[in-house]
Chain A
C-alpha cells in the first residue's frame, strides 16, 4: 500500500509525461490537464491499497481509459454540434489541411540556429505523433516513452501482444516516413543520431 509521500513522488515523476501524452491525444492542453487530474484522483481514490510497484501500470491504464471517456463525450458533443451547425450554414472546409503545413516557422534571428532547428524538429515530431492513429500512438508512447514491455502494454491497451507489436511497428514506420518526408538531414536528425551512435561506440 502506497503512502501519501510515495504517491506524491510517483505522480511528480510521471505527471509531465502524462500531460504531454494526453495533449498529443486530445490536442487540447486544458482538456489534457483535466484528464490528468481525473486520472490522479482515480488512482488515489480507488487504487490506494495497491503496492507501489503496480502504480505505473495502473496509472497508465486509468489515463488511457479517461482519454477514451473524453473521446466518447467529444463524439456525442460533436454529433450535436454537426447537427445544429447543418442548420446554421456550411463549414469552412479546413479539416483536410495537413497540420504539418500550418507550422509557424519562428524567424527569430537572435535565437541560436541550433535551438531554432531543435524547436522546429520538436514541433514536427509532435504534429507527426498527433497525426498517428490513436492505437498506434498509444502503443508507441507506452512501449518507447513509458518503457513498458509488450505484455504490460497489451494489458493496458486490452489487446494481444501481437497487436501491440504491429501497432508499434506501424507507428514507428509512420513517424519515420513522416519525418523523412520533411527531410531528416534538413531537420538535423540524421546528424544527431549518427553523432550519438558514434559516442556510444
Chain B
C-alpha cells in the first residue's frame, strides 16, 4: 500500500517536472518569430560590398523607370494628337471632300476658259473675218453654195 502511494507520488512529481519543462519550451510560432527577428537583424548588417551592389541595382532599376516614364510622356503626346484626329474624323472627311470638289470646279473652270481662248485663236487665224460667223444668213449662203 505504501509502495503504491510512493509510486503515485513519484509519477505525479515526474509529470509536474515535465509540465514545467514544457512551459519553458517555446512554441513553434514563438520560435518562428524569434528566428525571423534574428534573420531580420542579420539582414541589416550586410557587408559594404553587398550593400553597394544592391544600391547600384536599385539605381539602375529606378533610372530604367524614369527613362520609361519619359518615353511614355512622348507617347502620350502622339496619342493625344491621334485622339484629336479621331475626334474630328467627320470634319476631316468633309474638308477633304470640299477640297476635292473645289479642285474639280477649278479644273472645269480653267478648262472652259482655255476652250474659249482656243476658239478665239481659231477665229482670228481663219481666212474669213469674225463678222462672217456672226451673220445670220452666212450659214444659209454657205449651204446653198455647197449645193
Contacts and interface: CB of A to CB of B under 8 A. Distances in A.
Interface string B19-47: 00000111011111111101110111010
Given A11-B61, A44-B65, A197 B30 contact: yes
Given A15-B57, A19-B43, A48-B65, A176 B28 contact: yes
B42 A20 contact: yes
B35 A175 contact: yes
Contact of A45 (B34, B53, B57, B68): B68
B25 A190 contact: yes
Secondary structure dominating the interface of A: helix
Of the listed residues B33, B40, B46, B64, the one surrounded by the most CB atoms of chain A closer than 10 A to its CB is B64
A172 interface: yes
A60 to B, nearest CB: 15
B65 A7 contact: yes
Nearest to B47: A29
Interface residues of B, number: 33
Interface string A15-54: 1110110000000010001001100110111001000000
Nearest to B25: A190
Nearest to A8: B62
Interface residues of A, number: 44
A47 B32 CA distance: 32
Interface in A83-129: 118, 121-122, 125-126, 129
Contacts of B28: 169, 172-173, 176
Nearest to B45: A16
A4 interface: yes
B13 interface: no
A150 interface: no
A179 interface: yes
Interface of A: 2, 4, 7-8, 11-12, 15-17, 19-20, 29, 33, 36-37, 40-41, 43-45, 48, 118, 121-122, 125-126, 129, 140, 144-145, 169, 172-173, 175-176, 179, 184, 189-190, 192-194, 196-197
Interface of B: 24-26, 28-36, 38-40, 42-44, 46, 50-51, 53-54, 57-58, 60-62, 64-66, 68-69
24 contacts: A4-B66, A7-B62, A7-B65, A16-B43, A17-B43, A19-B50, A33-B54, A37-B53, A37-B57, A43-B61, A44-B62, A45-B64, A45-B65, A45-B68, A48-B68, A122-B38, A125-B35, A126-B42, A144-B36, A173-B28, A179-B31, A192-B34, A193-B31, A196-B34
Given A20-B39, A41-B60, A45-B68, 19 more contacts: A4-B65, A4-B66, A7-B61, A11-B58, A16-B43, A17-B43, A19-B46, A20-B46, A33-B50, A37-B53, A37-B61, A40-B61, A44-B64, A122-B42, A126-B42, A129-B39, A144-B35, A175-B31, A189-B26
Considering the complex of A and B, which 5 residue pairs feature the smallest CB-CB distances, nearest first?
Answer: A37-B57, A40-B61, A44-B61, A44-B65, A193-B26
